Chains A and B, each alone.
Chain A
């Protein structure tokens, strides 16, 4: 059995950044396993721009952003196997994969980075009633058909969900000659970025219906119409508010789910808040030597932060291979305070903190002038000001080691609260 220092599962932005950092961290025997026929992951179908403003200080398209990392990787000795589907990973880090050239293989590694990304929630996940006709796509599937396969998916389109992929597809379909009749959002706010509401909807006069949802789907073979209703504050449809859109296509942009079948099967602990692995401060899962990063860990808004997180996972994997397991010692657990839906990492080993720990979290509603507090019991150890926070925008704070050392209890609570302007 071939033995590697590090095997990275997935060759999208997370896997690329992790492999590159591990190489820079001194590992020389690294394998990336990618199930698609090329590296780059979902970035390859994200032909729009807006990527890389943090990382490269310029505005790149998805393929360009991926291309930067693929170019950097080609200058290293990292081995890449494409068309390779990983079937299982054992806690002893034996990786079973299959591809058309090697057949079914098992390779083992001293460390593994999980970078499988996420997939879209489908119609089944949100239980939209109505006919089972054709013409209903997830936004990402439509994006792949149009931008990679060169197949137009429809002419008259309604989009359910105002996540970024849905907004991007509203513009994309319009530019390709389709008529986008409406973007329908269940919540009273969009979960997409403001800039996408402006440049994908407003630029093309596409109406956004907030606090609305699709309540019926009608069509014999192909979709013929959808019924949209307003919802009340408990998100229940309000009778009498129905309106009908004649359309042949419904795109669903209703959320993303980290793809953690391999992680679960391996026995790694999963956080029900993120549907991703529970990780330590260095992105290590509950299985020693197995790290997780990118959208398989927590669904990000910006690829730049995926690269950053994955870079840290790559460095940590290299440290694990070269120096062995992290030292035991005092640990802290991060918990949700008011208005916070999750925080990553979930656990912190004080021995490993160094300069500090970056903590990512989301809030459950829109905030204006506000503060993020981190408490240990009743004692506040850190406070951060914010002008604006929203569920669609991941928040990031840096907790310096000095402040973490002030924690009196073994749990830290992250909370958000309004402050007087």
Chain B
């Protein structure tokens, strides 16, 4: 059994995840908590957020995120990959700035429109 704090939303439910019975989860207030508990035990993932260099905009950085979760152990490697990304203004929310980050199959997209 593993005790977890659910990070899906700010409620922070205290979960108990049991490896037996095909991964049973208790303590969750919503179905997303059950999914989180299972994933956290078997295949922990996170959404990476950060910034990339922005040229020609009013500010120096463009905020970005992975459009879906990536494996937790790839977080630092993916964050380093963002250092090599350059974006030219104008940029729009949702524009892909880096495809398939670190072979995860997940794209990195802008999260702010900067004209």
Q: In the assembly, what is the distance between CA of A48 and CA of B48, in Å?
A: 8
Q: In chain A, what residue has the closest Cβ to B93?
A: A67
**Could you tell me if A147 and B61 are in contact, using CB atoms closer than 8 angstroms?**
yes
Q: In the assembly, what is the distance between CA of A150 and CA of B57, in Å?
A: 12
Nearest chain B CB to A360's CB is how many angstroms away?
A: 15
| Residue of B54, B65, B80 with most partner-chain A CB within 10 A | B65
* A22 contacts B by Cβ under 8 Å: no
**Chain A interface: which of B5-13, B18-26, B97-105?**
B5-13
Q: In the assembly, what is the distance between CA of A301 and CA of B50, in Å?
A: 21
**Could you tell me if B112 and A44 are in contact, using CB atoms closer than 8 angstroms?**
yes
Q: Mark B72-106, 1 if CB is under 8 A from A, else 0.
A: 10011001100000000000010000000000000
Q: In chain A, what residue has the closest Cβ to B64?
A: A47
Nearest chain B CB to A212's CB is how many angstroms away?
A: 21
CB neighbours (8 Å) of B76 from chain A are: 174-175
* A355 contacts B by Cβ under 8 Å: no
Q: Which of B40-71 contact A (CB under 8 A)?
A: 46-51, 53-54, 58-61, 63-65
Given contacts A63-B63, A148-B61, A150-B51, contact A194 B112 (CB under 8 A): no
**Could you tell me if A61 and B63 are in contact, using CB atoms closer than 8 angstroms?**
yes
Q: In the assembly, what is the distance between CA of A373 and CA of B49, in Å?
A: 41
* A402 contacts B by Cβ under 8 Å: no
Q: In the assembly, what is the distance between CA of A174 and CA of B76, in Å?
A: 8
Nearest chain A CB to B111's CB is how many angstroms away?
A: 4
**Could you tell me if B47 and A59 are in contact, using CB atoms closer than 8 angstroms?**
yes
Q: Which of A175-195 contact B (CB under 8 A)?
A: 175-177, 193-195
**Could you tell me if B93 and A301 are in contact, using CB atoms closer than 8 angstroms?**
no
Q: In the assembly, what is the distance between CA of A151 and CA of B61, in Å?
A: 10
Q: In chain B, what residue has the closest Cβ to A200?
A: B7
Q: In the assembly, what is the distance between CA of A47 and CA of B64, in Å?
A: 7
**Could you tell me if B79 and A61 are in contact, using CB atoms closer than 8 angstroms?**
no
**Could you tell me if B60 and A149 are in contact, using CB atoms closer than 8 angstroms?**
yes
Q: In chain A, what residue has the closest Cβ to B48?
A: A175
CB neighbours (8 Å) of B47 from chain A are: 49, 59
Which of A60, A174, A199 touches B46 (beta carbons < 8 Å)? A199
Nearest chain A CB to B3's CB is how many angstroms away?
A: 11
Given contacts A64-B111, A148-B60, contact A175 B75 (CB under 8 A): yes
| Residue of B50, B64, B72 with most partner-chain A CB within 10 A | B50
**Could you tell me if A149 and B10 are in contact, using CB atoms closer than 8 angstroms?**
no
Q: In chain A, what residue has the closest Cβ to B110?
A: A63
Q: In the assembly, what is the distance between CA of A94 and CA of B93, in Å?
A: 37
Q: Which of A40-90 contact B (CB under 8 A)?
A: 44, 47-50, 53, 59-64, 67
**Could you tell me if B59 and A148 are in contact, using CB atoms closer than 8 angstroms?**
yes
* A366 contacts B by Cβ under 8 Å: no
Q: How many A-B residue pairs have CB under 8 A?
A: 89
* B39 contacts A by Cβ under 8 Å: no
**Could you tell me if B61 and A193 are in contact, using CB atoms closer than 8 angstroms?**
no
Q: Mark A383-414, 1 if CB is under 8 A from B, else 0.
A: 00000000000000000000000000000000
* A302 contacts B by Cβ under 8 Å: yes
Given contacts A67-B93, A147-B63, contact A48 B12 (CB under 8 A): no
**Could you tell me if A198 and B61 are in contact, using CB atoms closer than 8 angstroms?**
no
Nearest chain B CB to A50's CB is how many angstroms away?
A: 7
Nearest chain A CB to B6's CB is how many angstroms away?
A: 7
* A146 contacts B by Cβ under 8 Å: yes
Which of B5, B46, B75 touches A194 (beta carbons < 8 Å)? B5
Q: In the assembly, what is the distance between CA of A77 and CA of B51, in Å?
A: 32
Q: In chain B, what residue has the closest Cβ to A164?
A: B10
**Could you tell me if B12 and A194 are in contact, using CB atoms closer than 8 angstroms?**
yes
**Could you tell me if A67 and B7 are in contact, using CB atoms closer than 8 angstroms?**
no
Nearest chain A CB to B77's CB is how many angstroms away?
A: 11
* A261 contacts B by Cβ under 8 Å: no
**Could you tell me if A203 and B75 are in contact, using CB atoms closer than 8 angstroms?**
yes
**Could you tell me if A175 and B61 are in contact, using CB atoms closer than 8 angstroms?**
no
Which of A48, A53, A149, A174 touches B59 (beta carbons < 8 Å)? A149
* A38 contacts B by Cβ under 8 Å: yes
Offer 22 A-B interface pairs, CB within 8 angstroms, sorted by A: A44-B112, A47-B65, A48-B49, A50-B10, A53-B10, A60-B111, A61-B63, A62-B63, A64-B93, A64-B111, A67-B93, A147-B51, A147-B61, A149-B60, A150-B60, A150-B61, A175-B50, A175-B76, A194-B7, A194-B14, A203-B46, A301-B10
